[in-house]
Chain A
Amino acid sequence: MLAEIGHFALILALLVAAAQAVLPMLGAARGDAALMAFGRSAAGLQAALITIAFACLMILFGQADFSVALVANHSALSQPLPYRLAATWGNHEGSMLLWVLVLALYGAGIARFGDNLRATLQARILAVQAMISVAFLAFALFTSNPFARLSPAPLDGAELNPLLQDPGLVFHPPLLYLGYVGFSVTFSFAVAALMEGRADPAWARWMRPWVLAAWVPLTCGITLGSFWAYYELGWGGWWFWDPVENASFMPWLLGTALLHSAIVTEKRGALAGWTILLAILAFSLSLIGTFLVRSGILTSVHAFAVDPERGVFILAMIIGATGTALGLFALRAPQMKSGALFGSISRESGLTINNLILMALTAVVFLGTFYPVIMEAVNPANKISVGPPYYNLVFAPLSVPLLLLVTVGPMLAWKRDEAASVGRKLLIPAMLALGLFAGLSLWLGLDKAASAFGLALGAWLILGAGLVLGKRWWGAGGFSWRLVRTTPAATVGLALAHAGIGVTTAGIAAMSGFAAETILVMRPGETAQAGPLAVTMVGAEEVPGPNYRALRARFAVQQGGGERSLVSERRLYTVSGNQTTEAGIGVSIAGNQYVAIGDVQSDGRGQGLVVRIYWHPLVGWIWFGGLLMAMGGAASLSDRRFRIGAPQVRTGLAPALVPAE
């Protein structure tokens, strides 16, 4: 019964979305307030219907109703309840339902919180949003119906992959979807602006919170994914340049660019065309990411069951959405006002360079990700894959100028600035960072100069973030609590986010320069050395688990006088035959001690366990930095500036001037 209710709610949602895609657009063209108001109600109704459908599916998973094919294929009775519920989105069909749910919730958000939007703009945004909804709802209903029944129903279902039975899975996909799908809102904003032929400061101000609303969860999702891979996959790495990681990273890079270019459009009315282009591309890359995961065009650890039919459908959606938007861009953008001029040294030019570099970085990742697809299309025998060496070689050098600029940017004045005055403001942090660089290079040796540079770069960014707050807190009359109290949340957000990049940069620099590893066969009582660690195997034993058997080894890890004991396990899940590694990780601010065991093997001295020992200096900083960036974004989002009315637009409703689409 529940499955049918869910299915029916989904069909109704499709019909509502279809009406929402057409009527408000018509209303905006004719100046019909009733039709425009329909868009708002429809957005709410659509969100309610999809919420019902999603709740139905979740209850079905909770009840373990194996007469529903999806439930039978992706959960088993032996699975704990939280993981059975999380299995709702641990598969293709369910995750598509989550996709449309998030999409509809954002749509309802525009309807609910968009009171201060121009009515025609809001109506058009809701209509574009509904068009995307129609496409995805049709996709879900026609090619991947989550409510399909299975007859006869099996007594028990198939187990969820043990790797996915982890708290990481519960949060990682929903956060990423909030991010990906959030860019649909900015996409709708961009398309609506192109239709209206107007992208003014008010438009940018309305759009900015939505950019943040997508960017913050995306940042959290990527950070969490990286952390999860580190502790669950047992490879001791934190980023693999896997095609699907890249698929989430590209919208993040463009979203970051969009966040900054929208500021220029908001404050100075400039770069409007560029902002629109970024908004279109950020969502297009999210769609392409979805395509990558589900079409099976590339092999990846994230790949869902491969189904070319779905690939064709998603590709058609990408062509429809991105093609139309870029076509509209080619047609309309040249006529839009290009905004105020600015000097070559100014906040605007700083943000422009930031955008260009972020765009170039996106292009680097894009090329690396799609090069195999393109090469294979040219010559089918040409199977290649692009690995970390490419990215390290190209991505790292290109990001250095950007990171150097991050601290300079907020010190620049709008419109026009003098190099000398900027130099004076940055003198102290620059001296400190250079001093740190020189000191570290001498202390660690010149062969570690690149890592020393990375650490100094991190310090430069953190100092720069401090400088932003310092500049705000020390007025003409010295430090004042009043100035601290009145600091806008957006300024705090800026400082937090920029400091976050600094923390992440320092972590990456330390990891790439000073990580140590040893792989060897060990027997109880033996001691091995890895970097600053001395690891002794204390003992190894077989232990039974609830639904697995484990080989457990205990280690004593000594480092600089302190001692810690770590336990590493290798689990064999008896039902599915899957093996997982539970690494023993000793966490501290200075770095992580990481011990993982492998197979039993024999070397010259008899049988022993393969043990991998890693020393990962400052690795936690990488994720902590990501968290800081997300917190910065959230702080910025909470700025009350976004909730008070946007600057008054001189022209009121002028429907007659807007050409019908």
Chain B
Amino acid sequence: MKRLIFILPIIAFAGLAVFLGLGLTKDPKELPSQLIDRPLPEFALPGIADTPETQPELAGFASASFKGEPRLLNIWASWCAACPQEHPVLERIAAEGFPVYGIAWKDKPEDSRRWLARYGNPYAGVAADEQGRTAIDLGVTGVPETFIIDKKGRVRFKQIGPISPEVWEGQIRPLMQQLRAEA
């Protein structure tokens, strides 16, 4: 009995070592989204266009429009350092025929416009979230982030950080194709 007490520390330590080892295999920066398989939070955001009549794609959009076809919803900003890096991938996604919608987060509309004029506009629709309220509902932790929305308007996947060509080809494109095939 007395011996058992002396063995206890090493048994407890062995248990801890197992958990520390398992912990090493995880990435602490990977934060799951609470929105997965839930409907997109409701929003109706204004656009960034100074003349909305001539630029309907910059006139803003609402969450209600995310029905009928799967879409990508990209959160970006003109002040974001990683966004130019992601930009060519977004252009490619748009060119492949997948609709990408963009929300400019905490950004002045004129800055957003200037950024799109400089790099080109891959977005089928652009809206502005100047106060960042919608981003809070979406659980945005930084830019860029991208949500994949299915035909029923539910969030199916969240990409934190820029979409790299590898992520697009290996993860997101297969998912989009699967979502298109869904009833």
Chain A residues at the B interface, C-beta cutoff of 8 Å: 273, 277, 280-281, 284, 288, 291, 295-299, 306, 308, 311-312, 315, 318-319, 322-323, 326-327, 329-330, 333-334, 370, 373-374, 376-377, 380-381, 383
What are 19 A-B pairs with beta-carbon distances under 8 A?
Answer: A277-B9, A297-B20, A297-B28, A298-B28, A306-B29, A308-B25, A318-B17, A323-B13, A323-B14, A323-B17, A329-B6, A330-B3, A330-B9, A330-B10, A334-B3, A373-B20, A376-B23, A377-B22, A381-B32
Across the two chains, which residue of chain A brings its CB closest to B29?
A299
State A277–B10 Cα separation when bound (angstroms): 11
Kindly provide the distance from the CB of B90 to the nearest chain A CB, expressed in whole angstroms.
24
Question: Given contacts A315-B17, A326-B13, A383-B32, are A297 and B23 in contact (CB under 8 A)?
Answer: yes
Kindly provide the distance from the CB of B152 to the nearest chain A CB, expressed in whole angstroms.
22
Kindly provide the distance from the CB of A527 to the nearest chain B CB, expressed in whole angstroms.
28
Q: Which residues of A contact B7 (CB under 8 A)?
A: 330
Q: Are B9 and A329 in contact (CB under 8 A)?
A: yes
Q: Are B19 and A373 in contact (CB under 8 A)?
A: yes
Instruction: Report which of A277, A288, A334 forms a contact with B2, defined as CB distance below 8 A.
Output: A334
State A291–B20 Cα separation when bound (angstroms): 9
Q: Are A373 and B23 in contact (CB under 8 A)?
A: yes
Q: Which residues of A contact B25 (CB under 8 A)?
A: 308
Kindly provide the distance from the CB of A158 to the nearest chain B CB, expressed in whole angstroms.
15
State A306–B19 Cα separation when bound (angstroms): 18
Q: Are A383 and B24 in contact (CB under 8 A)?
A: no
Q: Which residues of B contact A370 (CB under 8 A)?
A: 16, 19
Kindly provide the distance from the CB of B143 to the nearest chain A CB, expressed in whole angstroms.
15
State A113–B154 Cα separation when bound (angstroms): 70
Kindly provide the distance from the CB of A395 to the nearest chain B CB, expressed in whole angstroms.
20
Interface core residue of A291, A326, A380 (most chain B CB under 10 Å): A326
Q: Are A380 and B17 in contact (CB under 8 A)?
A: no
State A281–B28 Cα separation when bound (angstroms): 26
Q: Are B26 and A376 in contact (CB under 8 A)?
A: yes
Interface core residue of B7, B17, B19, B20 (most chain A CB under 10 Å): B20
Question: Given contacts A298-B28, A370-B19, A373-B19, are A323 and B10 in contact (CB under 8 A)?
Answer: yes
State A401–B6 Cα separation when bound (angstroms): 27
Q: Which residues of A contact B24 (CB under 8 A)?
A: 295, 297, 308, 311-312, 315
User: Could you give, for residues 69-82 of chain B, a 1 whenever the CB lies within 8 Å of some chain A CB and a 0 otherwise?
Assistant: 00000000000000
State A297–B23 Cα separation when bound (angstroms): 6
State A291–B21 Cα separation when bound (angstroms): 11
Q: Are B10 and A326 in contact (CB under 8 A)?
A: yes
Across the two chains, which residue of chain B brings its CB closest to A299?
B28
Any A CB within 8 A of the CB of B117: no
State A308–B29 Cα separation when bound (angstroms): 13
Across the two chains, which residue of chain B brings its CB closest to A375?
B19
Any A CB within 8 A of the CB of B183: no
Interface core residue of B21, B28, B29, B32 (most chain A CB under 10 Å): B28
Across the two chains, which residue of chain B brings its CB closest to A322?
B13
Across the two chains, which residue of chain B brings its CB closest to A376?
B26
State A319–B24 Cα separation when bound (angstroms): 14
User: Could you give, for residues 133-161 of chain B, a 1 whenever the CB lies within 8 Å of some chain A CB and a 0 otherwise?
Assistant: 00000000000000000000000000000
Across the two chains, which residue of chain A brings its CB closest to B16?
A370
Interface core residue of A284, A288, A297, A298 (most chain B CB under 10 Å): A297
Instruction: Report which of A291, A295, A329 forms a contact with B10, defined as CB distance below 8 A.
Output: A329
Any A CB within 8 A of the CB of B95: no
Across the two chains, which residue of chain B brings its CB closest to A385?
B28
State A295–B24 Cα separation when bound (angstroms): 7
Interface core residue of B17, B19, B24, B32 (most chain A CB under 10 Å): B24
Q: Which residues of A contact B19 (CB under 8 A)?
A: 370, 373-374, 377
Any A CB within 8 A of the CB of B31: yes
User: Could you give, for residues 25-61 of chain B, a 1 whenever the CB lies within 8 Å of some chain A CB and a 0 otherwise?
Assistant: 1111101100000000000000000000000000000
State A315–B10 Cα separation when bound (angstroms): 15
State A277–B16 Cα separation when bound (angstroms): 17
State A308–B25 Cα separation when bound (angstroms): 8
The interface on chain B, measured as residues whose beta carbon lies within 8 A of the other chain's beta carbons, has a size of: 23
Kindly provide the distance from the CB of B79 to the nearest chain A CB, expressed in whole angstroms.
10
Q: Which residues of B contact A373 (CB under 8 A)?
A: 19-20, 23
State A373–B7 Cα separation when bound (angstroms): 25
Q: Which residues of A contact B2 (CB under 8 A)?
A: 334
Q: Which residues of A contact B29 (CB under 8 A)?
A: 299, 306
Across the two chains, which residue of chain A brings its CB closest to B24?
A311
Across the two chains, which residue of chain A brings its CB closest to B18?
A377
Instruction: Report which of B14, B22, B28 forms a contact with A296, defined as CB distance below 8 A.
Output: B28
Q: Which residues of B contact A288 (CB under 8 A)?
A: 20
Q: Which residues of A contact B10 (CB under 8 A)?
A: 323, 326-327, 329-330
State A525–B17 Cα separation when bound (angstroms): 60
Q: Which residues of A contact B13 (CB under 8 A)?
A: 284, 322-323, 326
State A297–B19 Cα separation when bound (angstroms): 11
Across the two chains, which residue of chain B brings its CB closest to A381?
B32
Q: Which residues of B contact A312 (CB under 8 A)?
A: 24
Q: Are A334 and B26 in contact (CB under 8 A)?
A: no
Across the two chains, which residue of chain B brings its CB closest to A309?
B24
Q: Which residues of B contact A281 (CB under 8 A)?
A: 9
Q: Which residues of A contact B3 (CB under 8 A)?
A: 330, 334
Q: Which residues of B contact A374 (CB under 8 A)?
A: 19
Q: Are B17 and A319 in contact (CB under 8 A)?
A: yes
State A318–B10 Cα separation when bound (angstroms): 12
State A333–B13 Cα separation when bound (angstroms): 17
Kindly provide the distance from the CB of B177 to the nearest chain A CB, expressed in whole angstroms.
25
State A383–B34 Cα separation when bound (angstroms): 11
Q: Which residues of A contact B21 (CB under 8 A)?
A: 315
Q: Are A273 and B6 in contact (CB under 8 A)?
A: yes
Instruction: Report which of B6, B16, B23, B27 forms a contact with A330, defined as CB distance below 8 A.
Output: B6
Other 10 A-B pairs with CB < 8 A, given A273-B6, A370-B16, A373-B20: A280-B9, A284-B13, A295-B24, A297-B26, A318-B20, A323-B10, A323-B14, A330-B3, A334-B3, A377-B23
State A381–B36 Cα separation when bound (angstroms): 12
Q: Which residues of B contact A284 (CB under 8 A)?
A: 13
State A334–B7 Cα separation when bound (angstroms): 10
State A308–B24 Cα separation when bound (angstroms): 6
Q: Which residues of A contact B20 (CB under 8 A)?
A: 288, 291, 297, 315, 318, 373
Question: Given contacts A297-B20, A323-B17, A326-B13, are A380 and B26 in contact (CB under 8 A)?
Answer: yes
Interface core residue of B7, B13, B21 (most chain A CB under 10 Å): B13
5 shortest interchain CB distances as A-B pairs: A326-B10, A377-B22, A373-B23, A330-B7, A297-B23
Instruction: Report which of A315, A322, A334, A376 forms a contact with B6, defined as CB distance below 8 A.
Output: A334
State A299–B26 Cα separation when bound (angstroms): 12
State A326–B6 Cα separation when bound (angstroms): 9
Q: Which residues of A contact B6 (CB under 8 A)?
A: 273, 329-330, 333-334
Q: Which residues of B contact A381 (CB under 8 A)?
A: 32
Q: Are A383 and B23 in contact (CB under 8 A)?
A: no
Q: Which residues of B contact A376 (CB under 8 A)?
A: 23, 26
State A361–B9 Cα separation when bound (angstroms): 17
Across the two chains, which residue of chain A brings its CB closest to B5?
A334
Kindly provide the distance from the CB of B122 to the nearest chain A CB, expressed in whole angstroms.
26
State A650–B32 Cα separation when bound (angstroms): 65
Across the two chains, which residue of chain B brings its CB closest to A296?
B28
Across the two chains, which residue of chain B brings its CB closest to A303?
B28
Q: Are B28 and A326 in contact (CB under 8 A)?
A: no
State A327–B9 Cα separation when bound (angstroms): 9
Q: Which residues of B contact A322 (CB under 8 A)?
A: 13
Kindly provide the distance from the CB of A332 to the nearest chain B CB, expressed in whole angstroms.
9
Q: Which residues of B contact A308 (CB under 8 A)?
A: 24-25
State A377–B7 Cα separation when bound (angstroms): 25
Across the two chains, which residue of chain A brings its CB closest to B81?
A577
